[in-house]
A and B are shown apart, each in its own frame.
Chain A
């Protein structure tokens, strides 16, 4: 029964990690920007949900659309005001800019909420389905389902709508897309906004499951980075695949005899190197901008 529990833990955590990486993958895949402020957006999402829960008594899952909307606006503005200016500049400039944004946002969050650890405790936290020795917590299950739902929704949006197609077209060939009448700056702002909204959703779900403090943004940027490299760029399902592989390193591998949990980071990065050697595009990846 332990095995079944571990597999359930793995699927729940892996899906949640997909949500962490989804926005990062979108922005990197379409715009070729490694958004180092991704973790900061997750942070803003987490603190928005925390604030809405403690001040307005809005459940973090029910408040998810609100959090995403707010983060979408933030992402749109950041892209339109700041990132669009350096989009043609060398790769390092966007790196620098997003790194600066990360510091700025994290410090503003710390200024507003202090560095104290925050966490949301809902009335239903701790409840779950119990089948014999197997226990599935409701809040984790809900978070995992939402993560899969967001992945599917993003995939459908990109494949089936005109706007989504325009985003993909911009990712494939920026200049050709412009010649077809696509407003590149708007598409970029939209993409970045979506990326931020997805990060916000991840943050809102994370703050219900884990304690949160303003120093944690960087941790999640790094994780999103590894997950995206593992899963591959260009498709939302890549983030899910990467999330599941990364979750494997954290939940299943440590329980194997002879390997303690102390090695899970090492294993995650070893997996990343392995994937890069065997399949440089990632498990499901197909880079557009190359």
Chain B
């Protein structure tokens, strides 16, 4: 809708009606369409200011390290954005409760400054710039999602402020030769692979798979990696199709898929996209009476509202997860184990942590140990310390390759069983058996 407005170039004189003064305007001077953005910002300011104040980190006093992050608190990835924020907030709370970060003889408290980017990558980039130039943050934590991260990392690179991101997994983020971007999460190619491996571990594994993917760079990267891996393992890819990212209706794709496996439904349906599309796929499979033996989605099943919005139909669905509370890690950080992280998180926010929260907390931990190792808060020294970092945390190993990606941490496969998330693969960390095949919708 905002795009619709930007074409109209509404005249500035109408601003008189909205009660803005010119100083407000100057802040968003880089914006192409001044009016809607100004209006939006006003409303955002109205709705978000209590949140901003609550985070309490506006002043960068001498003994406070200020971390900045643009986050998608409204818009299409608002759910994931809030989970990211909670992950950051938990780290801030715990690090301060444990005495802050020691650098030489000085102890620094930590504060977080965040803005809502409305799930818009362009807005996210503007806010990153604002965080660096106006708010003078010391370091940057990542936004939610690959698209926003791709925008923001360029700003971080320009100002030579290290950014540790926790929610952008596409290879593209790390293939631009940038030196100030670090990602704590496993790369995109792992997302589908771990679920196919789980399927292959079955005594009677699926023989045919249909892969559907949103057409954004992250999802397509995951989908092509999945196709190549499935073929290399002897699973026949009978259907491969992309659809527009954010599509609300997938009946066209699913109708074609229904007869793709030599006239029948493929054994396995693998979706690479976003949570909303995963929910839509399951709803429409039920409506169209498509009964695969296994459903798997790269993003979606691990977020709590996948289960609440699908109810019993969420059962048996596989998901890939960067982290699950069932994994066995003994970290050097104050959380220590995944189980302990889950406990503290639940105490703080009243609900289960998702992997988005855990990886976001891990991004904070990466900074914490890098700053300690560097013995300095100089951005350049902290960057170098990040590049050398190799620590075991509650989230798994945090260690970056030459491009800044964490290729050293494995992923896990989860399955929804009786409305609960169970870890089913790899076997070493699993707390439940993989249930297979999925019963038809009519028999649940």
A binds B: yes
Q: Are A264 and B244 in contact (CB under 8 A)?
A: yes
Q: Which bucket holds chain B's interface residue count?
A: 35 or more
Q: Are A121 and B252 in contact (CB under 8 A)?
A: no
Contact of A251 among B36, B252, B287 (CB under 8 A): B252
Q: Are B256 and A140 in contact (CB under 8 A)?
A: no
CB distance from B7 to the nearest CB of A (A): 12
Assess whether A6 is interfacial by the CB under 8 Å rule: yes
Contact of B17 among A96, A121, A264 (CB under 8 A): A96
Q: Are B78 and A140 in contact (CB under 8 A)?
A: no
| Interface 1/0 per residue, A5-26 and B, CB below 8 Å | 1100100010000000000000
The CA of A137 and the CA of B251, in the complex, are separated in Å by 11
Q: In the complex, what residue of chain B is closest to A100 when comparing beta carbons?
A: B39
4 nearest A-B pairs in the assembled complex, by CB-CB distance: A115-B78, A218-B1, A137-B287, A119-B309
Q: In the complex, what residue of chain A is closest to B275 when comparing beta carbons?
A: A117
When distances are taken between beta carbons in the complex, the residues of chain A under 8 Å from B289 are 126, 128, 130, 135, 137
Q: Are B242 and A210 in contact (CB under 8 A)?
A: no
Interface centre among A107, A116, A128, A255, by most chain B C-beta atoms within 10 angstroms, is A116
Q: A121-B311, A126-B289, A135-B288 are in contact. Are A255 and B279 (CB under 8 A)?
A: no
Of residues 207 through 252 on chain A, the ones whose CB sits less than 8 Å from some CB of chain B are: 209-211, 213-216, 218-219, 221-222, 225, 250-252
Assess whether A2 is interfacial by the CB under 8 Å rule: yes
Q: Are A99 and B288 in contact (CB under 8 A)?
A: no
- A-B contact sample (4 more), CB < 8 A, given A99-B36, A210-B248, A261-B244: A125-B287, A135-B289, A209-B283, A261-B243
Q: A5-B255, A9-B252 are in contact. Are A215 and B76 (CB under 8 A)?
A: yes
Assess whether A103 is interfacial by the CB under 8 Å rule: yes
When distances are taken between beta carbons in the complex, the residues of chain B under 8 Å from A219 are 246, 248
CB distance from A3 to the nearest CB of B (A): 10
Assess whether A104 is interfacial by the CB under 8 Å rule: yes
When distances are taken between beta carbons in the complex, the residues of chain B under 8 Å from A250 are 249, 252
Interface centre among B10, B17, B309, B310, by most chain A C-beta atoms within 10 angstroms, is B309
The CA of A139 and the CA of B2, in the complex, are separated in Å by 33
Assess whether B247 is interfacial by the CB under 8 Å rule: yes
Assess whether B25 is interfacial by the CB under 8 Å rule: no
Assess whether B372 is interfacial by the CB under 8 Å rule: no
The CA of A251 and the CA of B256, in the complex, are separated in Å by 10
When distances are taken between beta carbons in the complex, the residues of chain B under 8 Å from A218 are 1-2
When distances are taken between beta carbons in the complex, the residues of chain B under 8 Å from A103 are 39-40, 43
Q: Are A96 and B10 in contact (CB under 8 A)?
A: yes
**Chain A interface residues (CB < 8 Å from chain B):** 2, 5-6, 9, 13, 36, 39, 92-93, 95-96, 99-100, 102-104, 107, 110-111, 115-119, 121, 125-126, 128, 130, 133, 135, 137, 139-140, 209-211, 213-216, 218-219, 221-222, 225, 250-252, 254-255, 260-262, 264-265
CB distance from A52 to the nearest CB of B (A): 17
Q: A96-B17, A210-B283 are in contact. Are A107 and B79 (CB under 8 A)?
A: no
When distances are taken between beta carbons in the complex, the residues of chain B under 8 Å from A255 are 252, 255-256
Assess whether B60 is interfacial by the CB under 8 Å rule: no
The CA of A265 and the CA of B241, in the complex, are separated in Å by 16
Of residues 233 through 286 on chain B, the ones whose CB sits less than 8 Å from some CB of chain A are: 241-244, 246-249, 251-253, 255-256, 258-259, 275-276, 279-280, 283, 286
- Interface secondary structure of B, over-half rule: helix
Q: A99-B5, A103-B43 are in contact. Are A126 and B286 (CB under 8 A)?
A: yes
Q: Are B287 and A262 in contact (CB under 8 A)?
A: no
Q: In the complex, what residue of chain A is closest to B314 when comparing beta carbons?
A: A121
Pull 26 A–B residue pairs with CB atoms less than 8 Å apart, ordered by A. A2-B255, A2-B256, A5-B258, A6-B255, A9-B251, A92-B11, A93-B17, A95-B8, A96-B10, A96-B35, A107-B43, A110-B78, A116-B309, A126-B286, A126-B442, A211-B280, A211-B283, A213-B76, A214-B74, A215-B74, A215-B76, A219-B246, A251-B252, A255-B252, A261-B241, A264-B244
**Chain B interface residues (CB < 8 Å from chain A):** 1-2, 4-5, 8, 10-11, 14, 17, 35-36, 39-40, 43, 47, 73-76, 78-79, 81-82, 119, 215, 241-244, 246-249, 251-253, 255-256, 258-259, 275-276, 279-280, 283, 286-289, 304-306, 308-313, 441-442
Q: Are A211 and B279 in contact (CB under 8 A)?
A: yes
The CA of A6 and the CA of B259, in the complex, are separated in Å by 12
When distances are taken between beta carbons in the complex, the residues of chain A under 8 Å from B256 are 2, 255
The CA of A245 and the CA of B35, in the complex, are separated in Å by 33
CB distance from A45 to the nearest CB of B (A): 16
The CA of A99 and the CA of B43, in the complex, are separated in Å by 12
Q: Are B14 and A92 in contact (CB under 8 A)?
A: yes
The CA of A221 and the CA of B4, in the complex, are separated in Å by 11
The CA of A222 and the CA of B1, in the complex, are separated in Å by 7
CB distance from A113 to the nearest CB of B (A): 11
When distances are taken between beta carbons in the complex, the residues of chain A under 8 Å from B74 are 107, 110, 115, 214-215
When distances are taken between beta carbons in the complex, the residues of chain B under 8 Å from A110 are 74, 78
The CA of A15 and the CA of B404, in the complex, are separated in Å by 50
When distances are taken between beta carbons in the complex, the residues of chain A under 8 Å from B78 are 110, 115, 213-215
The CA of A126 and the CA of B283, in the complex, are separated in Å by 8
When distances are taken between beta carbons in the complex, the residues of chain B under 8 Å from A107 are 43, 47, 74
When distances are taken between beta carbons in the complex, the residues of chain A under 8 Å from B1 are 36, 39, 99, 102, 218, 221-222
CB distance from B242 to the nearest CB of A (A): 5
Contact of B79 among A6, A36, A117, A119 (CB under 8 A): A117
